[in-house]
Amino acid sequence: MPSPISLVLFDMDDVLCAYDWEGRVRALATLSGQSFDALSHAIWGSGFEDAADRGEMSAAAYLDGFAERLGMPFTQAQWVANRRAAMTPWAEMLDLARSISRHAAIGILTNNGLSTAKTIDDLYPELRPIFGERIVVSAELGTHKPDPEVYRRALARLGFAPAETLFTDDKPENIDGAIAAGLQGHLHAGPAALKARLAQSGMILLA
């Protein structure tokens, strides 16, 4: 039987919500008059977004860079509206997180920049009532998944040991990074699969 679990740490996008990245880029392309391919490369393919996820720029500098790549003024409110429109809360996963919280601590570790950290309650207001203050954005830690160091820094902040933490993410490389840092890993495959994995560690969640 795997080690007992004291903390279940969730990814956010495509785990706790469906993230329509393509729809987000299409909306930005329409707004800016650029092509989908040109805009997706300028923001995501160029390394700009990855640098933000590693905390290499402030929220203000990120927004300035985002607007520069759009080729037009772009406010924080517009950025939030565009990001939030691409996020559909997954009610079953939120319900499962609530159920888990009666047996263990729960938290979030998401690859995102300081703009997300600053506006998370506007982007996904359903999270705070469930996860409280245990919402960690990679940019706050100075690196991002799958770097094993990001998991160590997140757990140091949250006050849990790696061996007692189960991390779930939709990307295999992020699970590999977590395991390299000493955490238990679970590749996201829906709520039923996570319940089954938790049951292996002795956590029985009632329907």
Domain membership of residue 166 (yes or no) is: yes
For 19, other C-beta atoms within 10 Å of its C-beta total 17
Verify that 80 and 142 share a domain, yes or no: no
Verify that 140 and 179 share a domain, yes or no: yes
Band (205; pLDDT cuts 50, 70, 90): confident
And the tokens for 100? 């888990």
And the tokens for 8? 């279940």
What is the average per-residue pLDDT within 166-188? 98
Q: What is the pLDDT of residue 204?
A: 79
- Rounded to two decimals, what is the model's pTM? 0.96
Expressed as residue numbers, the domain containing 118 is 7-18+89-200
The closest alpha carbon to 133, from 106, 153, 115, 156, belongs to 106
Bond preceding residue 2 cis, omega within 30 of 0: no
Band (27; pLDDT cuts 50, 70, 90): very high
Verify that 109 and 195 share a domain, yes or no: yes
Strand 87-89 and strand 17-19: the pairing is antiparallel
The share of the chain scoring above pLDDT 90, in percent, equals 94
Q: Which tens digit of pLDDT belongs to each residue from 133-165?
A: 999 999 999 999 999 999 999 999 999 999 999
Verify that 47 and 134 share a domain, yes or no: no
Residue labelled with tokens 């990679």: 138
